[in-house]
């Protein structure tokens, strides 16, 4: 209950932003807010993994891409040439398939988005379990390398496989109809509902993680971040908790991938790139590692400006500069900056004032 109260202000802010933009006729900002929300969903998952379980992962763009690519391929690539095969018939009888139409009027036999989403997220979770077991035994830079390697493999497969569209990626991905009248799509008319879908998901994710942090598991996780040995000595099964958090964060990434791909109507190999993963890790670091709120804030702000192209060709430069500045002057993340103490340092406030405060 307490947790629900703590995200209430965020909910108010989300609704407030909608009202504000609609009052000022600037609703188009919601497009990039929606996209940023999905990236932030991945980032808060990664924050739980890095900050609370103390495990770095430079491969989370890989999970994002697994979710996005599988969902995109299943809902776009027609199965008509294989419709007589046993597997396709099996999926069909399970109600996973439907006959659709592409934008040029050709008929398609594809997976329903719900089925595709389920398969995509499940695949990501299974892969996370499979690689999590050996990878999480590694430490430090070796762990970083292993997760980086995983990311590279996903990137290379996406870039080299014809089924996934090679360099072009997958385009013309259909809308994801969640409920009748409620669909994830990039159409200009669906913007407001998509804003709420994205932020709804992000709020649920936030709530889930906040609860997790406060649960028995969460306390154990914090124990891990402090010291493996101590947690072990207290009878906490650290290996299991690390793995659970790893899988959970992979699922967050995959869900973000599925939804953003349907919202964008496509996905390309750049989503799986190593620099994307490095970017996510850096955002968690500037958010304050184990600080979900700080990470969320940085995730939204940095992605929002990048997606709007606010800094033009200097986009990466600004990102790099922010990384350096925050890490130099606020090593515990953006929210550790004490605004009052910063103001005190500003010139123009007289000395007596400062002494009075002390």
Partner 1 sequence: MKKLVSKFLMAVVAVTFIVVPAAAWAENIKVGAILAVTGGASFLGGPEARTLEMMVEEVNSRGGINGNMIELIIKDSAGSPEKAISFAKQLIEEENVLAIIGPSTSGETLKIKTICEEAKTPLLSCAAAEVIVNPVAAYVFKTPQNDSFAAQKIFMEMNKMGISKIAVLAGNTGFGKAGKEQLLKIAPEFNIEVVEAEVYDSKSNDLSAVVAKIKANKDVQAVVNWSIVPAQAIVAKNMRQAGWDVPLFQSHGFGNIKYVEAAGPAAEGIIFPAGRLLIADTLADDHPQKSLLLEYKKNYEDKYAEPVSTFGGHAYDAFSILMAAVAEAGNDRDKVRAAIEGLQNFAGTGGIFNFSAEDHNGLDIDAFQMMIVKDAKFVSYTGK
Partner 2 sequence: MTLELSIQYLMAGITYGSIYAIVAIGFNIIYNTTGIINFAQGEFVMFGGMIAITLLNFMPLPLAIFLAVAITMLIGALIEICFIRWLKSPSVMRMVTITIGISILCREVAIHIWGESIRSLPYFFGNAISSVPVLGARISPQVLWVVGASALMMVCLGIFFKTTAVGREMRACASNRKAAVLCGINTQNMVTLSFVLSAGMGALAGCVMSPITYSQYDMGTGLAIKGFTVAILGGLGSSGGAVAAGLLLGIIEAFSVSVVPLAFQDAISIAILLAILFVRPQGLFGSKEATGLKEF
Q: Show the binding pattern over residues 276-305: x = contacts partner 2 (CB under 8 A), - = does not.
A: --x--xx--xx--x----------------
Residue 327 as a binder of partner 2 (CB under 8 A): the answer is: yes
Contact (Cβ atoms closer than 8 angstroms) between residue 68 and residue 260: yes
Residue 149 as a binder of partner 2 (CB under 8 A): the answer is: yes
Residue 312 as a binder of partner 2 (CB under 8 A): the answer is: no
Residue 230 as a binder of partner 2 (CB under 8 A): the answer is: no
What DSSP designation does 58 have?
S
Q: Which of 10, 88, 129, 274 binds partner 2 (CB under 8 A)?
A: 274
Q: Which of 18, 35, 20, 17 is nearest to 192 (CA)?
A: 18
Q: Which of 148, 201, 296, 297 binds partner 2 (CB under 8 A)?
A: 148
Contact (Cβ atoms closer than 8 angstroms) between residue 180 and residue 110: no
Q: Which one of the spans 54-62, 89-97, 158-166, 344-352 is the region binding partner 1 (CB under 8 A)?
A: 158-166
Contact (Cβ atoms closer than 8 angstroms) between residue 292 and residue 174: no
Q: Which of 134, 312, 348, 356 binds partner 2 (CB under 8 A)?
A: 134
**Pairing status of strand 266-267 against strand 170-171:** antiparallel
φ, ψ for residue 357, nearest 5 deg: -65, -35
Residue 316 as a binder of partner 2 (CB under 8 A): the answer is: yes
Nearest-5° Cα angle at 302, 299 to 303 = 75
Residue 126 as a binder of partner 1 (CB under 8 A): the answer is: no
Which of the choices partner 2, partner 1, none does residue 150 contact, using the CB cut-off of 5 to 8 A by kind? partner 2
Q: Which one of the spans 29-37, 80-88, 119-127, 275-283 is the region binding partner 2 (CB under 8 A)?
A: 275-283
Q: Which of 81, 200, 309, 320 binds partner 1 (CB under 8 A)?
A: 309
Encoded tokens for 289: 């590692």
Q: Which one of the spans 69-77, 109-117, 136-144, 236-244 is the region binding partner 2 (CB under 8 A)?
A: 136-144
Q: Helix (H, G, I), strand (E, B), or coil: what is residue 10?
A: helix
How many residues form the binding site for partner 2 (CB under 8 A)? Answer: 41
Q: Which of 88, 265, 274, 332 binds partner 1 (CB under 8 A)?
A: 265
Q: Show the binding pattern over residues 91-110: x = contacts partner 1 (CB under 8 A), - = does not.
A: ------------xx------
Residue 307 as a binder of partner 1 (CB under 8 A): the answer is: yes
Instruction: Round to whole Å and give the CA distance between 340 and 354.
Output: 11
The secondary structure of 297-345 as a DSSP string is: HHHHHHHHHHHHTTTGGGHHHHHHHHHHHHHHH-TT-GGG--HHHHHHH
Contact (Cβ atoms closer than 8 angstroms) between residue 252 and residue 205: yes
Q: How many CA atoms lie within 13 A of 175 on its CB side?
A: 18
Residue 139 as a binder of partner 2 (CB under 8 A): the answer is: yes
Contact (Cβ atoms closer than 8 angstroms) between residue 288 and residue 332: yes
Instruction: Round to whole Å and give the CA distance between 201 and 207.
Output: 10
Encoded tokens for 111: 């997976």
Given the complex with partner 1, which of 225 and 308 has the nearer CB atom? 308
Residue 10 as a binder of partner 1 (CB under 8 A): the answer is: yes
Encoded tokens for 143: 């762990």
Q: Which of 43, 119, 202, 267 binds partner 1 (CB under 8 A)?
A: 267
Q: Which of 133, 129, 147 is nearest to 50 (CA)?
A: 147
Instruction: Round to whole Å and give the CA distance between 208 and 191.
Output: 26
Q: Which one of the spans 93-101, 122-130, 144-152, 262-270 is the region binding partner 1 (CB under 8 A)?
A: 262-270
Interface residues with partner 1 (CB under 8 A) are: 6, 9-10, 13, 17, 20, 24, 26, 28-29, 31-32, 35, 103-104, 159-160, 165-169, 171-172, 186-188, 260, 264-271, 291, 293-294, 296-297, 300-301, 304, 306-309, 312-313, 315-316, 335, 339
Interface residues with partner 2 (CB under 8 A) are: 56, 134-135, 137-142, 144-146, 148-150, 152-153, 156-157, 159-160, 274-275, 278, 281-282, 285-286, 289, 314, 316-317, 319-324, 327-328, 331
């Amino acid at each position: 209950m307490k947790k629900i109260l703590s995200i209430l202000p965020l909910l108010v802010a989300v609704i407030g932003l909608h009202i504000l933009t609609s009052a000022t006729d600037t609703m188009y900002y919601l497009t990039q807010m929606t996209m940023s929300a999905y990236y932030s969903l991945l980032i808060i998952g990664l924050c739980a993994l890095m900050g609370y379980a103390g495990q770095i992962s430079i491969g989370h763009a890989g999970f994002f891409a697994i979710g996005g690519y599988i969902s995109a391929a299943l809902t776009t690539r027609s199965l008509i040439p294989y419709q007589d095969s046993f597997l396709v018939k099996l999926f069909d009888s399970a109600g996973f398939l439907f006959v659709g139409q592409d934008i040029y009027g050709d008929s398609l036999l594809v997976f329903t988005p719900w089925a595709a989403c389920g398969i995509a997220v499940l695949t990501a979770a299974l892969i996370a379990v499979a690689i999590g077991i050996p990878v999480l035994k590694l430490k430090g830079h070796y762990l970083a390398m292993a997760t980086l390697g995983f990311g590279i493999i996903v990137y290379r497969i996406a870039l080299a496989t014809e089924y996934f569209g090679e360099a072009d990626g997958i385009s013309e991905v259909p809308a994801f109809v969640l409920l009748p009248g409620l669909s994830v799509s990039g159409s200009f008319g669906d913007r407001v509902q998509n804003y709420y879908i994205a932020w709804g998901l992000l709020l649920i994710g936030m709530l889930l993680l906040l609860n997790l942090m406060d649960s028995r598991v969460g306390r154990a996780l914090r124990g891990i971040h402090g010291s493996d040995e101590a947690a072990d000595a207290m009878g906490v099964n650290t290996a299991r908790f690390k793995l659970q958090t790893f899988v959970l964060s992979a699922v967050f990434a995959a869900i973000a991938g599925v939804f953003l791909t349907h919202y964008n109507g496509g996905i390309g190999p750049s989503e799986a790139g190593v620099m994307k993963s490095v970017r996510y890790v850096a955002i968690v670091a500037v958010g304050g590692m184990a600080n979900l709120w700080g990470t969320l804030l940085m995730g939204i702000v940095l992605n929002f400006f990048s997606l709007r192209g606010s800094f033009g060709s200097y986009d990466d430069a600004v990102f790099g500069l922010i990384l350096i500045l925050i890490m130099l002057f606020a090593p515990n993340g953006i929210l550790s900056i004490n605004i009052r103490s910063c103001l005190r340092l500003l010139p123009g406030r007289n000395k007596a004032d400062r002494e009075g405060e002390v």
